[in-house]
Amino acid sequence: MLRHFIDTQDFTRQELLNIIELTRRIKAADKQGCTPKLLQDASLAMIFEEPSTRTRVSFEVAMTELGGHALYLKPGEIHLGVRESLYDTAKVLSHMCDVIEARTLKHATITELAKHADVPVINGLTDYNHPTQVVCDVTTMMEHMPAGKELEDLNVTFIGDATNVLSSLILICTRMGMHFTHAAPKKYQAPAEWQAWAQKNCQESGGRLTVTEDPLAAVREADFIYTDLWWWVGQEDQIPERRAAFMPAYQVNKTLFEKAPSHCKFMHCLPASRGVEATDEVMDHPRSIIFDQSENRLHTEKGLLVYLVYPRLKRPAEELKAFHQGQIEAMLNNLKFGI
């Protein structure tokens, strides 16, 4: 069956847990140098309309370590809605590759690609959401779970702008049944539509959503504090206004971090503007897990790729492979290449 990974809302809680468990098992194998070659000879097309470090590197390394191959299609390298329709691009890549990962400027671009692709399409970030990042984040939280707590007991606090990472995080955490808090000035809080979807998740999962302007109250019970950039490419003209809105109350610094419980961990999807949304003291704190989190992008991409692609790969019998090789070699031997 063809499944795309565009939004965590397209997956049930149990399906997301299955992806996380698969990720955990592949990571355990990897740590012993035994990554299984589950995607032998498979090809991944990686489309990037924007720069990336973690997403780009993690997908390529994941594919290589699973026995497959990744093609990096950097911004401007292929026809993508220019000189060729997205329909044609989706069909061409589907005929040559087993899976497509895309980071697109507009969310509509990836949904259009997925609509026409005949292979799984994975969302590597759009202007709306970042689902692969947050599967990684929940995996990381489960590895750093406070003693005696279950997933449903976790308090996750996001401080800062309503970014595309927040949109995915608020949805996956509430789908999982966690208690999610977003602290930001009113203008930068999660839009009403995201809150409505998250509230619906809570009704089904038993989770809880709080949106507040009070960062001190937001961190008081937090098991994890998470933040993200206050501005992104294209928002440079808003930097003074945004800095004034968030600084100093919403900066994750030592003073704010110390208001959280003594077991609380710090998370950031990266890239970060050190000294802006979080200080070095917190980024490099013994309870900062930002580099475990970024490493888990690699393991999560493996889990996702295997979950979506492995069931679709052909696994021909050895006799059939030998038959075709024999047919081709017989012809080559007869040709003798003009000798």
Binding site for ligand CP (CB under 6 A): 52-55, 125, 133, 269-271
User: Which CB atom, from 55 or from 104, has the smaller least distance to ligand CP?
Assistant: 55
Q: How far is CA 44 from the centre of its chain?
A: 16
Find the catalytic residue in 97, 133, 136, 251: 133
Least distance in angstroms from the C-beta of 28 to ligand CP = 23
Find the catalytic residue in 56, 103, 179, 242: 103
User: Which CB atom, from 48 or from 197, has the smaller least distance to ligand CP?
Assistant: 48
Does residue 280 carry a catalytic annotation? Answer: no
224 beta partners: 156, 265
Does residue 324 carry a catalytic annotation? Answer: no
Least distance in angstroms from the C-beta of 137 to ligand CP = 10
Least distance in angstroms from the C-beta of 140 to ligand CP = 12
Cα angle 125, 207, 188 (rounded to 5 degrees) comes to 50
Find the catalytic residue in 130, 175, 182, 268: 130
Least distance in angstroms from the C-beta of 123 to ligand CP = 11
Find the catalytic residue in 179, 242, 297, 299: 297
Does residue 130 carry a catalytic annotation? Answer: yes
Cα angle 176, 255, 186 (rounded to 5 degrees) comes to 55
Does residue 208 carry a catalytic annotation? Answer: no
Task: Count Cβ atoms below 10 Å from residue 70 Cβ, excluding itself.
Answer: 22
User: Which CB atom, from 6 or from 209, has the smaller least distance to ligand CP?
Assistant: 6
User: Which CB atom, from 61 or from 270, has the smaller least distance to ligand CP?
Assistant: 270
Does residue 107 carry a catalytic annotation? Answer: no
Task: Count Cβ atoms below 10 Å from residue 35 Cβ, excluding itself.
Answer: 18
User: Which CB atom, from 36 or from 271, has the smaller least distance to ligand CP?
Assistant: 271
Please, what is the angle between helix 131-143 and helix 13-31, to 10°?
A: 70
Answer yes or no: are the C-beta atoms of 158 and 141 closer than 8 Å. Answer: no
Find the catalytic residue in 228, 242, 268, 299: 228
Least distance in angstroms from the C-beta of 338 to ligand CP = 51
Does residue 103 carry a catalytic annotation? Answer: yes
What 3-state class would DSSP assign to 44? strand
- For residues 245-271, one letter each, b for 16 or more C-beta atoms within 10 angstroms of the residue's C-beta and e for the rest, the string is bbeeebbbeeebbeebeeebbbbbbbe
> How far apart are the C-alpha atoms of 50 and 73, rounded to whole Å?
11
Positions annotated as catalytic residues are 103, 130, 133, 228, 269, 297
